[in-house]
Amino acid sequence: MLRAPLPLLSVLLAAGLIAGCSSTNEDKTANWSPDRIYSEAREEMTGGAYDKAVPLLEKLEGRAAGTPLAQQAQLDKAYAQFKAGEKAQAIATLDRFLKLHPASPAADYALYLRGLVNFNDNLGMFSWLSRQDLSERDQKAAKDSFESFRELTTRFPDSRYAPDARQRMTYIVNALAQYEVHVARYYYERGAYVAAVGRAQQAIADYQNVPATEEALYILIRSYDALGMAQLRDDAQRVMNASYPDSSYLKGGFKARENPWWKFW
């Protein structure tokens, strides 16, 4: 059996690797027009292949630099990244867009999408399927989401996205208030009554007219009672009776939480 000399074999292997790399790195969009790249990217997005759309939109940004199409490519890339689960990258893309194009007619959409990315990241509407109260999660994304929606509704009060943004802001405030109550209840259930009082008072002071106030008052009543602070307990009881005369907490205790507010948003 004949064998190729080692030097020749090495050359052949190297040539094969070079040929393989050449074919792998070949840019199929090299001769495409910007319109065709955009059309292909939109087709990938329509089919749910967001991961394939992102590199096409990145190419389009470069090919159509300085044009409205490049701006559209940025926004579509952010949306595709969001849908592909690349939320940090989506936020970075939107931040870059808003920095480069602060006066863009699409700035309201960019703010709305930035709020939506963080909203879904922290406050997914269907998380109750796993029986996790949304208020029990880390709150940074919720606060970031609120700030994006707040900026949108302040700068563009008549935007088509403003009504939905306002609804989501209300939802976020409710979730943040409930987070404080969740912590207060955690302390109460472990006998840390002073800490429970502090968090319940904070929820009442920081968030007005939210569903969580009812449970916060109930925790105050129970905590003051456990601490033997009858005067403060009775004061909290009077506020509870005046504000929530038919409170289910007074009748059923913490069992009233079986149907939390966020399941019906």
Q: What are the tens digits of pLDDT across the range 29-72?
A: 888 999 999 999 999 999 999 999 999 999 999 988 989 999 99
Q: Which residues contact 262 (CB under 8 A, 6 or more apart)?
A: 128, 133, 134, 135, 171, 174, 175, 178
- Kindly report the length of the chain: 265
Q: Which residues contact 120 (CB under 8 A, 6 or more apart)?
A: 82
Q: What is the pTM (predicted TM-score) of this model?
A: 0.76
Element (H, E) at 44: helix 34-46
Token pair recorded at residue 256: 């009233």
Listed in sequence order, the DSSP H helices in the chain are: 6-24, 34-46, 50-63, 68-83, 87-100, 107-123, 140-155, 162-189, 193-206, 212-226, 230-243, 248-252
More confident residue, 251 or 6: 251
Question: Does position 209 have pLDDT exceeding 80, yes or no?
Answer: yes
CA distance to 58, 116, 182, 233, per residue, from 93 (Å): 11, 14, 34, 52
Question: Does position 105 have pLDDT exceeding 90, yes or no?
Answer: yes
Q: Which of the four pLDDT bands, split at 50, 70 and 90, describes residue 86?
A: very high
Cα–Cα distance measured from residue 195 to residue 183, given in angstroms and rounded to the nearest whole number:
9
Question: Tell me: the pLDDT tens digits for 212-264?
Answer: 999 999 999 999 999 999 999 999 999 999 999 999 888 878 765 655 544 44
Residue carrying the six token digits 């399941």: 263
The answer to whether residues 148 and 111 touch, using CB atoms and an 8 Å cutoff, is yes
- So what's the pLDDT on residue 125? 41
Token pair recorded at residue 49: 């292949």
Cα–Cα distance measured from residue 134 to residue 136, given in angstroms and rounded to the nearest whole number:
5
Question: Does position 172 have pLDDT exceeding 50, yes or no?
Answer: yes
- So what's the pLDDT on residue 250? 83
- Fill in the DSSP letter of residue 131: T
Question: Does position 192 have pLDDT exceeding 70, yes or no?
Answer: yes
